[in-house]
Amino acid sequence: MADATPQNAPPGAIPVEQLITGLRTEMHKNEHVLWQGRGSGRAFNAFNRGLLLRFGLIIIGFALVLWWMLDNPNPSNNWLAWILVLILVGRFALFFWQSSATPKRQVAMLTTRRLLSVDIVRPETNWTIAIGGEGHAEGQYADPHPIVVTGTKERGHIKLNRSIGKVRAYPPFILFNAARPLELAKLIKSTLKIDQPIEDRTK
């Protein structure tokens, strides 16, 4: 890694000293930052649907067990069922609350060589999109994939590749709550020479 200011920066490049906290130390030699941003708020609509399905199946199974316990001929044991309910509800509420904070921890930058996302709390979830659109996260690579933009024209999410690695609440390769996401997606596509199309799913 090198944090020296690159030479011959293109017009509009962001100086290293103006980078958001967490990005400056990630700079490579001779690359120039064309865009930087920070996630904001929460993004439940970008939640991992596969994980939601698993949770749904767990809840259904738990509901069946709960029904069986409450339907037993010895109601004096019902207190145990309610304790299990409180534990499950509390655990899921805590998980969703902690996971939903992922978007606002994200800082990202587009350089002349790559798109980098940094989680300032959990660096093991950092990811990059290289020239050509190949994704890299958690030691694995993903082939280029269509760029999907959701939300609104003013603010939305940009999904740049498919999910790889561990099953997480929020999969990698998503820029959360980006301002003017379609414009940013076009800038990413042209800068990194990605041949894949942009799918506009904004409202």
**Average pLDDT of 133-137?**
95
User: Is residue 43 pLDDT above 70, yes or no?
Assistant: no
Count of other CB atoms within 10 angstroms of residue 183: 13
Q: Which residue has the higher pLDDT, 17 or 162?
A: 17
Which is more confidently placed, 166 or 67? 67
Question: How many CA atoms within 13 Å lie on the side-chain side of 15?
Answer: 2
| Least confident stretch, 68-77, 103-112, 121-130 | 68-77
Average pLDDT for residues 117-145, to the nearest whole number? Answer: 91
Whether 130 contacts 114, CB under 8 Å: yes
Q: What is the distance between the alpha carbons of residues 101 and 1, in angstroms, rounded to a whole number?
A: 28
Kindly indicate the confidence band of residue 63, based on its pLDDT and cuts at 50, 70 and 90. Answer: confident
- The predicted model scores a pTM of 0.73
Q: What is the DSSP letter of 14?
A: B
pLDDT of residue 117: 95
Residue-level pLDDT at 138: 85
Burial of 79 (0-12, 13-18, 19+ CB in 10 A): exposed
pLDDT category, 3, cuts 50, 70, 90? very low
